[in-house]
Amino acid sequence: MRPAFLHPFASTTRESFIRIVRGEGALLWDSDGNELIDGMASLWYCAIGHGRREMADAVHAQMTTLETYSCFDPFTNGPAEELAERLVALSPLEGARVFFTDSGSESVDTAMKLARLAHVQAGHPERTLIISRTRGYHGTNYGGTSAQGIAPNKAGYGPLVGDVVQVPSDDIEALATLMKERSAEIAAVITEPLQGAGGVFPPTENYLQGLRRLCDQHRAYLIFDEVITGFGRLGSWFAAQHYGVTPDFLGFAKAVTSGYQPLGGVFVGRAPLEALEADPTFFLRHGYTYSGHASVCVAGLKNVEIIEREGLLQRATHVGARLGAGLQALAADGIIDHARGDGAVWAAGLKPDQNAMAIRDHMLKNGAIVRALNTDTNTFCPPLVITDDQLDRLLDIFATAATR
């Protein structure tokens, strides 16, 4: 019998799944009692680690006072306002405001829509073109499906959003040529500062700086999709700070609550804000039922508090250095082809005779979780609270699986 639950990103005929029942820090337990080291922070999001009671207590306190109430005009609530203030203070975008969503995909849609809308409000409705990069992943709503650069994820869904095109991921010249050709039509360029789900590819030298220059030259907005890199993964609150490049929109989700509640959002920077705020009679017709959900925003506040209190930005740098060095040593020993990554997110690039899925499955039987992307990549993105001992065990279990 197939389960009633139709799983996301899974074979439609798979009948049995690994049932995770408990978590604590970087450790998980399945329903057979097996202990697993979480090498992926679940799905790139659990920065503060699993099973934190103070998070449950904070959400419980809010829920027993007011679970939430709509933030559509004319209402608001305290946790949403407080979280917005807190996030703006951490954000690299000076004078920004935050729009709340429920997920990364909604953050991408929101940034794409607001970029086009800001041009309309600035008197340039012809600026509709959105440019993204191959290998990019921007979620699975229609906006993100249209903008993402992973071909199989786009197939079968009919016509996608119009005026969204991809350029080869590391080729700044290809981008410069396209932007020159279509200069007056461009609304925005969207990119992950470090491409994550496409295989963990840090930006090539000066790529992001070049992107910023091109966007300024052609009056296009620059959108950073920081759904994976936001909230500490690279050792700064945001990759924009890590790489020293400031976008006009910055989308986030995942580690804003470490996954304890579903939350996403978009920082809207000064330039688009000025366009959106210029007409005092303008009414923003975009929003989700749960934009600014009080019990969700409380989790965001608690998560930011924990990241600060426990020094998890510094911890990310330490975890990343140890993880990166471990993978590079495996490459030097010829066990894998190469390692790539930055901060606390890394990939093992495999040799042609290795298989990422087989390695993943072998690791699962031996107490650790990594992800397999295509046949040639295993990814690592552990909770930032992972201990050195757990990290070393994770690397050992990987090395054994990759050596077979």
Ligand X SMILES: Cc1ncc(COP(=O)(O)O)c(C=O)c1O
Residues that bind ligand X (CB under 6 A): 44, 103-105, 108, 137-139, 144, 192, 196-197, 225, 227-228, 253
* Cβ–Cβ < 8 Å for 148, 164: no
- Least Å distance between CB 103 and ligand X? 4
What is the rounded distance in angstroms from the CA atom of residue 136 to the CA atom of residue 144?
10
Torsion of CA 239, 96, 255, 371, to 10 degrees: -50
Closest to ligand X by CB, 23 vs 139, is 139
Find tokens 């009633």 and name the residue: 4
Angle at 343 between CA 338 and CA 345, to 5 degrees: 60
Closest to ligand X by CB, 139 vs 341, is 139
Closest to ligand X by CB, 44 vs 380, is 44
- Least Å distance between CB 314 and ligand X? 24
- Least Å distance between CB 130 and ligand X? 14
Please provide the DSSP assignment of 103-149 as one string.
SHHHHHHHHHHHHHHHHHHTT-TT--EEEEETT----SSHHHHHH--
- Least Å distance between CB 131 and ligand X? 16
Closest to ligand X by CB, 71 vs 108, is 108
- Least Å distance between CB 141 and ligand X? 7
- Least Å distance between CB 274 and ligand X? 26
- Distance set, CA 189 to CA 120, 171, 213 (Å): 17, 14, 12
Closest to ligand X by CB, 87 vs 330, is 87
What is the rounded distance in angstroms from the CA atom of residue 395 to the CA atom of residue 212?
37
In the complex, residue closest to ligand X by CB? 104
Closest to ligand X by CB, 46 vs 228, is 228
Answer left, alpha or beta for residue 139, where phi above 0 means left and psi between -120 and 50 means alpha: left
